[in-house]
Amino acid sequence: MSEYDLIVVGGGISGLSFARRGALQGWRTLLLEADQRFGGCLATQRYTGAAEGYWTELAAHTAYNSYGALLELLDANQLGRLQPRHKLPWRVWDGARLQSVFARLHWPSLLPALPRLLFTPKQGLDLRAYYGRVMGRRTYDSLLRHAFSAVLAQPADAFPADLLFRKKPRRQDVPRSYTLNGGLLGLAEMLAATPGHEAKAGVAVECIQREGEAFRVHAGAASWRCRHLALAVPAWEAARLLEGEYPELARYLQQIAPAEVESLAVVVARDSIGLPELAGAIGIDQDFYSVVSRDVVPDARLRGFTFHFRPGRLDRAGKLARIAAFLGAPPEAIVASAERCNRLPALKAGHLAWVSAVDRLLSGERLALIGNYFYGVSIGDCAERAKAEFERLKQRTVSATTSPSPSGRGQG
């Protein structure tokens, strides 16, 4: 049978958590993912060969106990699998030396600016305008703009200030920051294994059609029909899928530009480098935004580092040379490596007005749009958007007393 209450397109954390909600609601749910594996930006590389049993993260690396909309989807067993990350410092790297982040604070301008934290609203301001004001321009330019670019894996000046560090309640029964044994991909694996929903990998959805109140989703020769549709793909992909049936929504989605980051992870023998243990390093005017270390989940034999490079600057040899300089070891010390090109939305100040406009267009529709281009880019932001959109669809179903049930035939 190829008729569903809900089809979710895209099997990253947004789509996985939405599909889990559908299954828990008792909806007949189908999740379609283009890649051969679920997870999207939960992209743990698990090694074989010389680094057998070791893993590094090629995108997201840390989750927090403030990710409530995600954590509420995990049962007690799954919560028990969350592994606290060791507390280690972040450093800055200027191409020659590692320094403490405090070394780059400009105290004479920082101290007088700090009281402005109390009465400067973030709304409508970008990171440069807001933090330049409340932390002082010198500290912003010498440290914060690099730190924010490291956090966001893209140039950060124009990013909306009100979407970073939103205050959220923290769960006290969960480690403050955590990963899983085997990396964050484990989160995707737990959610993909939800009983009650069907999940198909290797299915790239090509087009979407409306059929009365329902939808038909096409991939190659196959098609499926559903009462509710959730697009959990990047904004530019959602724009393409909606161009024919929802041109106005598509025009909004086209406004979100992608920011690319070229991520390269390397594994070295623990005794082959003398680098002190660290959580990661912020690149100061470097070819990479950041280096994220695996030291937070230590291993007796190996150490791993993922470098998030600015796009289009260096070939692989050039990247390995930068990595060797950072590690203080020749490229031959690398026993394993892995690469991935990631794309994140480049959001701009005033983005919440864009979200409101899109939500107005969605209201009354059986279509949900979810992803990292609504409330922020973190895993927690994605799960929060998925929850809000699921509640909207559920509410619509409950209140639509005359809601038609799916009809017509499909081919699976």
Binding footprint of ligand FAD on the chain (CB under 6 A): 9-15, 32-35, 40-42, 59-63, 153, 204-205, 232-234, 237, 261, 263, 308, 342, 344, 371-372, 377-380, 382
Task: Give the shortest CB-41-to-ligand FAD separation in angstroms.
Answer: 3
Tell me, rounded to whole angstroms, the distance of Cα 181 from its chain centroid: 19
3-state secondary structure of 399: helix
CB of 304 to ligand FAD, least distance (A): 15
3-state secondary structure of 108: helix
DSSP letter, residue 277: P
CA dist., res. 279 & res. 288, Å (int):
16
Among residues 237 and 389, whose Cβ is nearest to ligand FAD? 237
Q: How far apart, in whole angstroms, are the C-alpha atoms of residue 277 and residue 282?
A: 15
Structure tokens at 181: 């044994």
- For the CB of residue 95, give the shortest distance to ligand FAD in the complex, in Å: 21
Neighbour count for residue 270 (Cβ, 10 Å): 12
CB of residue 402 vs ligand FAD: minimum separation in angstroms? 32
The smaller minimum CB distance to ligand FAD, of residues 31 and 92, is found at 31
Report d(CA 131, CA 122) in Å as an integer. Answer: 9
Q: Distance between CA 390 and CA 289 in Å, rounded? A: 35
Q: CB of residue 101 vs ligand FAD: minimum separation in angstroms?
A: 18
Residue (65 or 378) nearer to ligand FAD, CB: 378
Give the separation between CA 391 and CA 363, rounded to whole angstroms: 12
For the bound state, the minimum distance from the C-beta of residue 192 to ligand FAD, rounded and expressed in Å, comes to 11
CB of 49 vs ligand FAD, minimal distance in Å: 24
Closest to ligand FAD by CB, 18 or 27: 18
Q: How far is the CB of 272 from ligand FAD (least distance, A)?
A: 25
Give the C-alpha separation, 88 to 85, whole Å: 9
State which residue, 134 or 226, has the beta carbon closest to ligand FAD: 226
Residues whose CB falls within 8 Å of the CB of residue 75, separated by 6 or more in sequence, listed in order: none
**Tokens 């912020």, residue located:** 282
Question: Closer to ligand FAD at the Cβ: 136 or 371?
Answer: 371
Tokens of 23: 């299954």
Give the count of alpha carbons within 13 A of 297, CB side only: 22
| Residue 264: CA count within 13 A, CB half-sphere | 19
- Of residues 15 and 132, the one with the C-beta less far from ligand FAD: 15
Nearer to ligand FAD, 44 or 372 (CB): 372
